[in-house]
Amino acid sequence: MTDIPESFTLTLPTTWTPEQTGFVHALLEDLIAQIEAHYGAAVQHWLSAELLTWRQIQCDWIASNTRRSSVPG
């Protein structure tokens, strides 16, 4: 799975007006729409692969922990 290399925090200005926050929200929605329009199929393919990888990791973990708990001690 892909991880962000470093954690980061976005600090938003506390002085924005409701109108300014509305503009930023609209900008982000438009940006998402443009990304989906241009890269949608590729992003969906990548997300599907990521989901399959994550599910395999979960299945492997469950299988290894089930074997451990079923072994008489």
Q: What are the tens digits of pLDDT across the range 9-54?
A: 888 899 999 999 999 999 999 999 999 999 989 988 988 998 999 8
Q: Which residues contact 57 (CB under 8 A, 6 or more apart)?
A: 1
Q: What is the pLDDT of residue 14?
A: 93
This prediction's pTM: 0.50
Q: What is the pLDDT of residue 37?
A: 93
Parse the chain into domains and list their residue ranges.
39-67
Q: How far is CA 21 from CA 12, 14, 26, 34, in A?
A: 10, 10, 9, 20
Q: Where are the beta strands (DSSP E) in 1-73?
A: none
